[in-house]
Amino acid sequence: MSQRRARRAARVAWMAGAAAIALFSQGDASAQSKEELDKARTLFREGIALSAANNCSGALVKFKAVAAVKMTPQVAFNIAECEEKLGKLLSALGNYRLAASAAAGDKKAADVATAATPKIAAIEERLPKLTIARGKGAEAAVIELDGTELGATQVGVEMPVDPGPHYIVAKLGNREIWKDSINVPERDKKTVEVVVKDEPATSDGPKNEERPPPPPPPPPPPSSGPSIPGIVLTGIGVAGIGAGLALFFGPRQSTINELEDLCGGDTSCPPSAKPTADQGRLFTGIAEAAVGVGAASLITGVILLATGGSKKSSAPSASAETERGARFIGAAPGASLGGVSLVGRF
């Protein structure tokens, strides 16, 4: 165990020294200032220390900051090593290849090329493979893997992925039509087929059956209640008929009795009976007019009450009846009612 630690310490020292030499190389530092290079050296040493302490996440941040100032084969190799320990095999494979390519032909980085070659082969063997194929209903869908859209050359083709869980989504426009998650272990191969059971709508608009129903018709207006004119006319009609009957059976009948006494029961009457006859005719005419107007008002009022105050009233009929009643007054001089005539010779 002590020998392993010793070899690890020696390797860390070698990597730190080699990287420091690369970063100090003035021939390659024309684009960086002395202050930037000094800061990069400090960050690199800090990254080496964090990596030796097995804090790969912290070390990776330091190494990437150094790469932003100056990328060297040593920096690329250390980034790849941290990513490999964190399970980011795809990214680690790319950085190992970058380190090996940058170290080719560089005598100062020959050891980097030697160390990177077996790393590349080992990761290529460990990487799982995933194939995402289009199924029924997904011919025109956009397919995303872990939030990244796949190109046409990636769909239906085996591609390496990091081991672990992955999330697959199929979209049509901005709408998800299918989604699934899958876990792919190291060295495994899996195929996922995107199948949409129900054909998606060709437009984003609402379907006919999803449209809201038309609004209901407005409620009928409330009833206006009893007709005030109907009540008034009914009262006038009752009063008119009552007054007419009172005049007919009261003063008129008294006048007829008085004329019978004066005329002796025939049609020959003395001149002194003429005022009494005229008075009888007047009572008869007034009674007929009152009864006629009262009947017309009563009929009109009843109609208005029955129709609930409708605007379509029987006003014309009332007017006609009123006119008819009004003409009774004109017949007063020769009025007759119930077969009794107030006509005589004087």
Residues 63 and 77 in one domain: yes
**Residue spans of beta strands (DSSP E) within the chain:** 129-134, 142-145, 148-149, 159-160, 164-172, 175-184, 189-194, 336-337, 340-341
Residues 59 and 105 in one domain: yes
Residues 121 and 160 in one domain: no
Q: What CATH number corresponds to the domain at position 107?
A: 1.25.40.10
Q: Which residue has the higher pLDDT, 168 or 258?
A: 168
Question: Is 331 part of any domain?
Answer: no
Question: Is 9 part of any domain?
Answer: no
Of the candidates 107, 126, 145, which is a domain's last residue?
126
Lowest average pLDDT, out of 83-92, 95-104, 230-239, 302-311, goes to: 302-311
- What are 313-343's pLDDT values in tens digits? 444 444 444 444 433 333 334 444 443 444 4
pLDDT, averaged across the chain: 77
Question: Is 221 part of any domain?
Answer: no
- Owning domain of residue 281: 249-303
Of the candidates 303, 318, 336, which is a domain's last residue?
303
Residues 96 and 52 in one domain: yes
Give me the pLDDT at residue 100, please. 96
Give me the pLDDT at residue 121, please. 97
Q: What CATH number corresponds to the domain at position 184?
A: 2.60.40
How many domains are contained in the chain? 3
SS3 sequence, 76-133?
HHHHHHHHHHCCCHHHHHHHHHHHHHHHCCCHHHHHHHHHHHHHHHHHHHHCCEEEEE
Residues 167 and 114 in one domain: no
Whether residue 173 contacts residue 201, with contact meaning beta carbons closer than 8 Å, is answered with no
Question: Is 242 part of any domain?
Answer: no
Give me the pLDDT at residue 105, please. 85
Question: Is 173 part of any domain?
Answer: yes
Residues 168 and 106 in one domain: no
Residues 96 and 150 in one domain: no
Question: Is 213 part of any domain?
Answer: no
Give me the pLDDT at residue 325, please. 40
Residues 107 and 156 in one domain: no
Whether residue 74 contacts residue 19, with contact meaning beta carbons closer than 8 Å, is answered with yes
Residues 143 and 93 in one domain: no
Residues 40 and 110 in one domain: yes
Residues 143 and 95 in one domain: no
- What are 124-135's pLDDT values in tens digits? 999 999 999 999
Residues 55 and 121 in one domain: yes
Of the candidates 105, 126, 147, which is a domain's last residue?
126
Give me the pLDDT at residue 259, please. 64
Question: Is 39 part of any domain?
Answer: yes
Q: Which residue has the higher pLDDT, 224 or 193?
A: 193
Question: Is 89 part of any domain?
Answer: yes
Task: Indicate whether 246 pLDDT > 90.
Answer: no
- What are 51-74's pLDDT values in tens digits? 999 999 999 999 999 999 999 999
pTM: 0.52
